[in-house]
Amino acid sequence: MKLGILVNTDRHLEDIVGIARAAIRKGHEVVIFAMDSGTRLLERPEFNELCKEEGISMSFCDHSAKHVGANTDGLSNEIVCGSQYNNAVMIHDTDRLIVL
């Protein structure tokens, strides 16, 4: 199964990390897309280091990050700086979607 996690707030960091890690431990793939104030989580190592775990891919909306003033300097190249297109692809390609 492929699980999508749409992160549109900066309030659920522990839940996002816990759900993502639990899913990959069970052998599932995880796709994370951050937008709106959720892009502020990119400043938190606990969030942005998820991209280094096998089975997790991440992207974010560059427009949202700029709008909320999120610092995206120095992010891993494994986190795709994208647009709402990345969100649409995630929604299309995943079997289940969680919005936090």
Q: What is the pLDDT of residues 9-43, one digit of tens each?
A: 999 999 999 999 999 999 999 999 999 999 999 99
The residues spanned by each domain of the chain are: 2-99
pTM confidence score: 0.96
Q: For residue 78, name the pLDDT band (cuts at 50, 70, 90).
A: very high
CATH fold of 2-99: Hypothetical Protein Ychn; Chain: A, (3.40.1260)
Rounded to an integer, the average pLDDT of 69-92 is 96
What pLDDT is stored for residue 23 in this prediction? Answer: 98
Q: Where are the alpha helices (DSSP H) in the chain?
A: 13-25, 45-48, 62-68, 84-93
User: In what side-by-side order are the strands of the sheet with 56-61?
Assistant: 79-82, 56-61, 29-34, 2-7, 96-99
